[in-house]
Amino acid sequence: MTPAHNPALAASLTICASAFVAGTTLLAKALGTDVLGPPLHALQISHGRFVFALLAFVVVTLVMRPKFVRPNVPLHVGRSAFGWGGVTLMFAAAAFIPLSDATAISFLNPVVGMLLAIPFLGERIGKWRALSAVIAFGGAMLLTRPGTGVIELGALLALGSALLLGAELIFIKRLTGGEGPMQILLINNVIGCAIASIVVIFVWAAPTFEQWLALAGIGFLMASAQACFINAMRRADASFVAPFFYATLAFATLYDAAIFGVSPDLTSIIGAGLIIAGAAILVWREAVNRSTS
């Protein structure tokens, strides 16, 4: 049964999802530095994210008992591999640069997905889509701070994350055509957990009690964010929901300032503004195209 159209609830759910996503990067930064004990490797942090998120989705599945269909295994494996890589790079970036910078660069995801949809999904790109890509990537390049003489490692990690997560969108678009959201999320976390569990063997270090709590927090926050976002998408058009997700940047900035005392500088503000402007143009054109089709 499809939920009733409810834009106000959809907006509220998306803002909640934004707060949860920003919370995961905050905890990842704490785990990747020495705030809660000896820094943990990004591979171990992403392992915790998938393990605890999987636990949450297993419980939800047992309670809701959604209907499953035969999965497209190759698409799920591709989606999960790119998603795991993107999440891992994002967690690594959070330890090196302000959360606002890492979050802003992550907003390149839809632009990357749009560009990759041209060769892989046969979609066409018009002048407005091209303009959105140029503006967004210009903002990302600004956040790498090339004028300082040394390109920020954290910015490059975040850029790599955006590229991988953008590629993941192609697989998600293919999967949503034939499978339900709960099935996609559960299988994604199963495969992601399997990949993370193998790789983490090489970097495993015994977490402190506080680090265990933070790892669990990342997993449950991510699961909550995904649940909120999916429910928001079911209650309003994607073009309406997407702009509210930019609140993630505001939450990340607030968290970073409150916990780590880090505030964005002028370069960060301009770079983030350009990326959001590029993504906003893309959302606007999608809305226009949908209304005229």
Q: Taking residues 251-273, what's their average pLDDT?
A: 88
Domain annotation covers residue 156: yes
**Most confident stretch, 8-22, 98-112, 275-289:** 8-22
Domain annotation covers residue 1: no
- Looking at residue 262, its pLDDT comes to 87
Where is average pLDDT lowest: 51-60, 246-255, 275-284? 275-284
Burial class of residue 73, CB neighbours in 10 A (0-12, 13-18, 19+): exposed
Domain annotation covers residue 125: yes
**Which amino acid type is present at position 266?**
L
Range of the domain at 186: 7-292
pLDDT in tens, 92-108: 999 988 888 888 888 78
Domain annotation covers residue 249: yes
Domain annotation covers residue 189: yes
- Looking at residue 9, its pLDDT comes to 87
% of the chain surpassing 90 pLDDT: 39
Contact (Cβ atoms closer than 8 angstroms) between residue 272 and residue 97: no
- Looking at residue 188, its pLDDT comes to 92
Domain annotation covers residue 54: yes
Band of the pLDDT at 236, cuts 50, 70, 90?
A: confident
Domain annotation covers residue 2: no
Q: Taking residues 120-146, what's their average pLDDT?
A: 78
Domain annotation covers residue 185: yes
**Residue at token pair 């660069």:** 105
- Looking at residue 150, its pLDDT comes to 46
- Looking at residue 196, its pLDDT comes to 97
Q: What is the dihedral of CA 69, 75, 80, 86, to 10 degrees?
A: -140
Number of domains in the chain: 1
Where is average pLDDT lowest: 42-51, 60-69, 241-250, 268-277? 241-250
